[in-house]
Amino acid sequence: MSATKALRLVLTASAAIGLAAPALADDLREALTSAYNTNPTLQGARANQRATDEGVPLARSNALPSLSGTATYTEFLRKTPNAFTAPDRAFSGDVSLGVPVYAGGSIKNSIRAAKTRVEAGQFDLRSTESAVFSQVVAAYMDVIRDSAIVGLNRNNVEVLDVNLRATSDRFEIGDVTRTDVAQSNSRLALARGDLRGAEGNLIASRERYIQIVGKAPVDLQPPPPLPGLPATPDDAVAFALENNPDLLAARERSKAAGFDVNVADAAKLPTISLFTGGNYTNYFGTLGGGTTGAFDQHQTTAQAGVRASIPFYQGGAPAAQTRQAQARESATLEQEISVERDVIASVRSSYASWRAANDIIATNQTAVDAAALSLEGVRAENTVGNRTILNILDAEQELLRAQVQLVAARRNAYVAGFNLLSAMGRAQAQDLGLDGGVLYDPQVNYNRVKGRIWDWDRDPDPVATSTRTVDTPAQDATIQPTPRP
C-alpha cells in the first residue's frame, strides 16, 4: 500500500472513530475538510489561479482573426463657395477583417509560456493547500496541548490548595512550622499564576484555530498516527525532489522564461497578415448640389490584400528585449536552485525535528514515571518525618514540569511529522482523501476557459465563499474536567 493511500485510510478511520465519540466532538479530518472548503487563503489562491488560466486565451487571441467596423454620420454645416457639388450630409460605414499568418513565432511561444505558467500556478495551489493543512494541524495540536496543560495546572492548583489547608491544620496542632505554611502558600500562588498563563495560551490557541479552520474547536479528539514517514532523510529528500510542489512550480517557471526569450527574438522577424475590408457611403441625395441626378448618391468599395512588415532597424530594441528575457530566464534558473536548496533544508530539518521530538517523548515519559514515583515516595516518607513539606512541594513541581514537557513533546512530534510530509509533497488534498464534496480541481476551470473566443463572454459576479468568523463567540479556557493524578 502506498504512503498516500495509507494516510488517506488513517484519516478515514479517524472520522469513523469520531462517529462513536460525543456528538459535538471534532476530529482532525473534519478540521482539515472545513479549512479546505472555507479558508480564505486557499479560496484566494484558487481565484488567482483562475486569473492565471486566462493567460492562455489572451495569448491565443493574437493568432485569431480580428473584425472591426466604424460608422460615421456627418453634417456639412459650412462649405466653400466653390464647392458646387459638395454634399450637405453623408453617412459612411467601414468594415475590416485581419488574419495573422506569420508573426515570427511570437504567438506560438506566448501560448506555450502561458500554458507553462498555468501548470506552475497549479503546483503553487498545491503548495498553498499543503501550507494551510500544516497550519490546521499545528492549530489543532496547539489546542490539544494547551487544553492538557491547563488541566495539569488546574489539578496542580487543587492539589496545592489541599496541601495548604492540610499544612495549616498541622500548624494549628504544632506538627509543622509557620515556614512550612508560608512555603505552601507561596507555591499555591505561583501555581495560580501559571494556571492563568496557561489559560491565556489556550484562549489564544482556540482563536487561532477559529482563524484557520473557520469554526470553534469542540472537544478535539486525539489525531491519528501519521503513516508514510520516511526511514532516512535521504529517502525523504529523494521523494521531495520529485514531488514538492514549490520545486515543481519553479521548474515550470524556468521553462516559461525560455519561451519568453523566443517571443523577444521574434521581434526581429517579419510578420505577415491577410486583410480585407469594405466601405459604404450614402449622401442622402445631396451630392452634386443642383445637379444631384448626375451623381450616384450611394458608393460601395471593397479591398483585400496581403500585408508584410519587415523590420530593418529598430534602434537595438529587439536585441535589448532578448537580452532582458535571457537575464530573466537566468534569474528563474537560479531561483529554481534556490527553491531546491530550501526544499532539501526543510526536509532534512523537519526529519531531524520529528526524530528528536519522538526521542524527547520517550525521555519525558520516563521522567513523568520517575517523578510520579518520587512524589509518592516523598509523601510516604513525610508521614514518618523523613521528608519536609518543601520536599513534597518540590516533587509535585517536578512532576508537573515533566507532564507539561511530555504534552509539548507529543504535540511537537506530530506537527514535525506532518511538516515533513508537507515538505516531501505528501500533504495536499489529493493525499488526504478529504470528505465534504468533490475536491477542487484547477484543471476544470482551465479546460473551461482555454478555448473561449467570444468577446462578450463573462462569468457571474464574484462572491466570497469563505466563512466569516465574526459570529463565533469569544473563546475561554473551559475544558473537560480531568481526574486528579
In a domain, 472, yes or no: no
The Cα 390–Cα 163 span in angstroms is 11
Report yes or no: 307 and 346 within 8 Å, Cβ to Cβ.
no
Our measurement of the distance from residue 469's CA atom to the centroid of its chain's CA atoms, rounded to an integer in Å, reads 19
**Owning domain of residue 428:** 3-63+103-270+318-449
Q: Once rounded to an integer, what is the mean pLDDT over residues 170-194?
A: 82
Q: Once rounded to an integer, what is the mean pLDDT over residues 174-185?
A: 80
Q: Once rounded to an integer, what is the mean pLDDT over residues 56-72?
A: 94
Confidence band of 16 (pLDDT split at 50, 70, 90): very low
pLDDT cut 90: percent of the chain above it: 59
Instruction: Give the per-residue pLDDT at 22.
Output: 38
CATH number at residue 385: 1.20.1600.10
In a domain, 87, yes or no: no
Instruction: Give the per-residue pLDDT at 161.
Output: 83
Q: Please, which residues bridge with residue 68 across strands?
A: 96
In a domain, 200, yes or no: yes
In a domain, 32, yes or no: yes
The values of phi and psi at residue 91, to 5°, are -125, 135
Average pLDDT, the chain: 87
The Cα 46–Cα 445 span in angstroms is 10
Instruction: Give the per-residue pLDDT at 176.
Output: 74
Q: Once rounded to an integer, what is the mean pLDDT over residues 237-247?
A: 96
The end-to-end CA distance of the chain, in Å, is: 41
Per residue in 251-279, pLDDT (tens digit) is: 999 999 999 999 999 999 999 999 999 99
Give the residue among 194, 85, 64, 209 at the shortest CA–CA distance from 136: 209
Instruction: Give the per-residue pLDDT at 149.
Output: 92
What are 5's three cell numbers? Answer: 493511500
- Flag whether pLDDT at 238 surpasses 50: yes
- Flag whether pLDDT at 56 surpasses 80: yes
What are 109's three cell numbers? Answer: 511561444
Count the domains in the chain: 1
SS (H, E, C) 103-114: CCCHHHHHHHHH
Per residue in 357-398, pLDDT (tens digit) is: 999 999 999 988 898 888 888 778 777 666 667 777 778 888
> Considering the entire predicted model, what is its pTM?
0.86
Sheet holding 89-102, edge to edge: 66-75, 89-102, 271-282, 298-309
In a domain, 254, yes or no: yes
Instruction: Give the per-residue pLDDT at 269.
Output: 93
Rg (CA), the chain: 37
Q: Once rounded to an integer, what is the mean pLDDT over residues 211-225?
A: 91
- Flag whether pLDDT at 435 surpasses 90: no
Confidence band of 90 (pLDDT split at 50, 70, 90): very high
Q: What amino acid occupies position 441?
A: D
In the block, cell 479560496 appears at: 43
Per residue in 277-325, pLDDT (tens digit) is: 999 999 888 887 777 777 888 899 999 999 999 999 999 999 999 999 9
In a domain, 464, yes or no: no
- Flag whether pLDDT at 200 surpasses 80: yes
Confidence band of 327 (pLDDT split at 50, 70, 90): very high
Report yes or no: 343 and 246 within 8 Å, Cβ to Cβ.
yes
In a domain, 456, yes or no: no
Of residues 348 and 185, more confidence is placed in 348
In a domain, 24, yes or no: yes
- Flag whether pLDDT at 19 surpasses 50: no
Q: Once rounded to an integer, what is the mean pLDDT over residues 464-484?
A: 81
The dihedral formed by the CA atoms of 437, 443, 448 and 452, expressed in degrees to the nearest 10: 160
What are 171's three cell numbers? Answer: 500548624
